């Protein structure tokens, strides 16, 4: 619910977030982040839905359907901000 706050890791099959989480999240099936949802931590997910206004401050990795593990990039990606 809006205004809810969790500090710590979350490992669930499905998550619908309208509050705040400070910690890493693993949603083995689906993650839905509502307009006021804020997630401060890394995320592993199979299916993700982000509503306009939602925020994820961390790394996101899709869970591979075959072995259930998150995919890791083969090399680091440099992010360049454009003004």
In angstroms, rounded to a whole number, what is the distance separating the alpha carbons of residues 72 and 53? Answer: 27
pLDDT band for 47, please (50, 70, 90 cuts): very high
Which of 22, 26, 18, 21 is closest to 2 using CA atoms? 18
pTM: 0.74
Instruction: Return phi, psi of residue 82, to 5°.
Output: -110, 130
Work out the mean pLDDT of the chain and round it to a whole number: 85
48-69, pLDDT tens digit by residue?
999 999 999 999 999 876 555 5
10-24, pLDDT tens digit by residue?
999 999 999 999 999
């Amino acid at each position: 619910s809006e205004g809810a706050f969790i500090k710590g890791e979350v490992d669930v099959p499905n998550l619908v977030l309208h509050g705040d989480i400070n910690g890493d999240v693993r949603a083995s099936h689906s993650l839905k982040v509502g307009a006021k949802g804020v997630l401060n931590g890394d995320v592993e997910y199979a299916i993700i839905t982000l509503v306009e206004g939602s925020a994820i401050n961390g790394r996101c990795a899709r869970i591979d359907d075959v072995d259930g593990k998150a995919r890791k990039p083969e090399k680091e990606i440099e992010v360049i901000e454009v003004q």
